[in-house]
Amino acid sequence: MEQNPFVVQKVEWYQFRDPSGRAFFVIVASLPNGFFTAVPCEVAMQLADHSLIALAAQEEALAQLQTTLEGKKTEDLFPVA
Protein backbone atom coordinates (compact mmCIF):
# COMPACT_ATOMS: atom_id res chain seq x y z
CA MET A 1 0.00 0.00 0.00
CA GLU A 2 1.34 3.44 -0.95
CA GLN A 3 2.08 5.99 1.76
CA ASN A 4 -0.50 8.74 2.09
CA PRO A 5 1.07 11.93 0.63
CA PHE A 6 -1.12 14.24 2.74
CA VAL A 7 0.15 16.05 5.82
CA VAL A 8 -2.20 16.37 8.78
CA GLN A 9 -2.43 19.87 10.16
CA LYS A 10 -4.15 21.08 13.29
CA VAL A 11 -6.54 23.88 12.37
CA GLU A 12 -8.27 26.36 14.66
CA TRP A 13 -10.79 29.03 13.74
CA TYR A 14 -11.06 32.46 15.34
CA GLN A 15 -13.68 35.11 14.76
CA PHE A 16 -12.51 38.70 14.39
CA ARG A 17 -14.65 41.82 13.98
CA ASP A 18 -13.64 44.93 12.10
CA PRO A 19 -14.26 48.38 13.65
CA SER A 20 -17.77 48.48 12.12
CA GLY A 21 -18.66 45.14 13.76
CA ARG A 22 -18.57 42.99 10.61
CA ALA A 23 -17.31 39.50 11.46
CA PHE A 24 -14.75 37.48 9.55
CA PHE A 25 -12.77 34.38 10.40
CA VAL A 26 -9.08 33.65 10.74
CA ILE A 27 -7.85 30.09 10.21
CA VAL A 28 -4.69 29.19 12.09
CA ALA A 29 -2.92 26.05 10.85
CA SER A 30 0.18 24.27 12.06
CA LEU A 31 2.96 23.58 9.58
CA PRO A 32 5.27 20.56 9.62
CA ASN A 33 8.24 22.82 10.46
CA GLY A 34 6.63 23.99 13.72
CA PHE A 35 5.48 27.37 12.46
CA PHE A 36 1.84 28.43 12.08
CA THR A 37 -0.03 30.32 9.40
CA ALA A 38 -2.87 32.71 10.21
CA VAL A 39 -5.06 33.60 7.24
CA PRO A 40 -8.16 35.85 7.22
CA CYS A 41 -11.13 34.17 5.50
CA GLU A 42 -14.64 35.02 4.46
CA VAL A 43 -16.73 31.90 4.85
CA ALA A 44 -20.24 31.59 3.46
CA MET A 45 -22.34 29.85 6.07
CA GLN A 46 -25.87 29.39 7.23
CA LEU A 47 -26.49 29.36 10.96
CA ALA A 48 -28.96 26.85 12.38
CA ASP A 49 -31.98 28.00 14.38
CA HIS A 50 -31.18 29.35 17.85
CA SER A 51 -33.26 26.57 19.41
CA LEU A 52 -30.39 24.20 18.52
CA ILE A 53 -27.73 26.13 20.44
CA ALA A 54 -25.99 24.41 23.35
CA LEU A 55 -24.68 26.62 26.14
CA ALA A 56 -22.20 25.16 28.62
CA ALA A 57 -18.48 24.56 29.12
CA GLN A 58 -16.82 23.40 25.87
CA GLU A 59 -16.96 19.61 26.32
CA GLU A 60 -20.40 19.72 27.90
CA ALA A 61 -21.72 22.00 25.14
CA LEU A 62 -20.52 19.55 22.48
CA ALA A 63 -22.13 16.61 24.30
CA GLN A 64 -25.33 18.63 24.73
CA LEU A 65 -25.35 19.52 21.04
CA GLN A 66 -24.86 15.89 20.01
CA THR A 67 -27.97 14.98 22.02
CA THR A 68 -29.93 17.88 20.49
CA LEU A 69 -28.93 16.90 16.94
CA GLU A 70 -29.52 13.16 17.38
CA GLY A 71 -31.71 11.78 14.60
CA LYS A 72 -31.84 15.05 12.65
CA LYS A 73 -30.81 15.35 9.02
CA THR A 74 -28.89 18.26 7.54
CA GLU A 75 -32.13 19.41 5.90
CA ASP A 76 -33.70 19.63 9.40
CA LEU A 77 -30.88 21.85 10.61
CA PHE A 78 -30.59 24.08 7.57
CA PRO A 79 -33.96 24.28 5.80
CA VAL A 80 -34.01 25.86 2.35
CA ALA A 81 -35.43 29.37 2.64
Nearest CA to 74 out of 54, 53, 43, 46 is that of 46
Taking only the tens of pLDDT, the chain with its 81 residues reads 456 566 667 889 999 999 999 888 999 998 888 899 999 988 887 778 888 888 888 788 888 888 888 888 888 888 886
Every domain of the chain and the residues it spans: 1-45, 49-81
Predicted structure pTM score: 0.52
Cβ neighbours of residue 11 under 8 Å, at least 6 residues apart? 27, 28, 29, 30
CB 20 within 8 A of CB 34: no
| Continuous H helices in the chain | 58-69, 74-77
Give, as one character, the DSSP assignment of residue 37. Answer: E
State how beta strands 23-30 and 36-41 pair.
antiparallel
